[in-house]
Amino acid sequence: MNELVGMYFSPWTERARWALDYHKVPYKYVEYTTLLGQPLLRLRAGKPFGKVSVPLLITPNERVNDSFEIAVYSDQMSEQEPLVPPAHFAEIKNWTESAELALYSARLRATRRIQASSEALADRLPGYTPNLLRKAFVPMAYIATGYILRKYQLEDDDDEKLLKNMDEFFDKANNALSGRRFVFENLSFADIVIATAMQAITPVEDKYIYLGLPSRKCMCEPALEMKYSSLIKWRDSVYEQYR
Ligand SMILES: N[C@@H](CCC(=O)N[C@@H](CS)C(=O)NCC(=O)O)C(=O)O
């Protein structure tokens, strides 16, 4: 059986799960815990050194360690219309690349807010942490968020600049989708990249990705929420119909 290692709240993981689910590729989902889970992740990724990240798809024949590659793999496993049609391959790859700076920026802004809130830190502890111990384990979550801030730092990480990076990507997405249902003629991975990136402005309903209230608050960007309200509506309807 395939296994997908991921982090439930991460847009990269959500993209990969969406592509696999869309094509009905079976897999067992395994939640990854930053830092604590790293030795095992390295082993499973076959990468003893350098950066390791999730999502990681482990199939009987290969390890696919990138959300775009997982979408391409899912297409190959299915007879359905592809999410990365050959005619739009380069453009879709380009969408994933341009989302990267926005998502890196969003991660820094949200992680800083999480680090400043003991409630949000307690919320981010692994699901198996007993409720009674959550408060006591907050320092561990603090260390893990510090690790994420260092691992994914950007050269210019001024809060305003980070917000600008996000704004630029969502502006591009908004223009591409204005008056359209999809970026291309049918649902593609470009739509999935944009819809899942919206998690950085206002998270999708809990029935799709469950978040505790403190985490949800840290993941909202009120200024962008107002500006991109039509994109949020679009995201919600794409989720309703295709997720
Ligand atoms: N290009 C990769 C990016 C994946 C990525 O940034 N993963 C982050 C998600 S927050 C991660 O693994 N974070 C946990 C860690 O590094 O420990 C993809 O598209 O799959």
Q: Is the pLDDT of residue 3 over 90?
A: yes
**Mean pLDDT for all residues in the chain:** 96
Beta bridge partners of 4: 29, 57
| Residue 69 main-chain phi, psi, to 5 deg | -65, -35
Write out pLDDT tens, residues 67-113: 999 999 999 999 999 999 999 999 999 999 999 999 999 999 999 99
What is the per-residue pLDDT for 127?
85
What is the per-residue pLDDT for 128?
87
| b/e burial code for range 181-199 (CB count within 10 A of at least 16 → b) | eebbeebbbbbbbbbbbbb
H/E run at residue 44: helix 38-45
Of 25, 23, 11, 29, nearest to 188 by C-alpha is: 23
The pLDDT-based confidence of 119 (bands split at 50, 70, 90) is very high
Angle at 38 between CA 162 and CA 72, to 5 degrees: 70
What is the per-residue pLDDT for 131?
87
| CA atoms of 32 and 57, how far apart (whole Å) | 12
Q: Cα of 133 to ligand 1 centre, how many Å?
A: 27
Q: Cα of 55 to ligand 1 centre, how many Å?
A: 7
Q: Is the dihedral angle over the CA atoms 180, 99, 243, 224 positive or is it negative?
A: negative
Write out pLDDT tens, residues 155-191: 999 999 999 999 999 999 999 999 899 999 999 999 9
Atom in ligand 1 nearest the alpha carbon of residue 107: 10
CATH class name, domain 88-113+153-242: mainly alpha
- Whose Cα sits closest to atom 1 in ligand 1? 66
Atom in ligand 1 nearest the alpha carbon of residue 103: 6
Angle at 5 between CA 184 and CA 46, to 5 degrees: 105
The pLDDT-based confidence of 217 (bands split at 50, 70, 90) is very high
What is the per-residue pLDDT for 126?
87
The CATH architecture assigned to 3-76 reads 3-Layer(aba) Sandwich (3.40)
Write out pLDDT tens, residues 36-56: 999 999 999 999 999 899 999
Atom in ligand 1 nearest the alpha carbon of residue 38: 17
Of 10, 222, 212, nearest to 120 by C-alpha is: 212
Radius of gyration of the chain (CA): 18
Angle at 117 between CA 112 and CA 118, to 5 degrees: 130
Write out pLDDT tens, residues 121-160: 999 898 889 888 888 999 999 999 999 999 999 999 999 9
**Ligand 1: which residues within 6 Å by Cβ?**
7, 10, 12, 34, 53-55, 66-68, 107, 151
- Domain boundaries in the chain? 3-76, 88-113+153-242
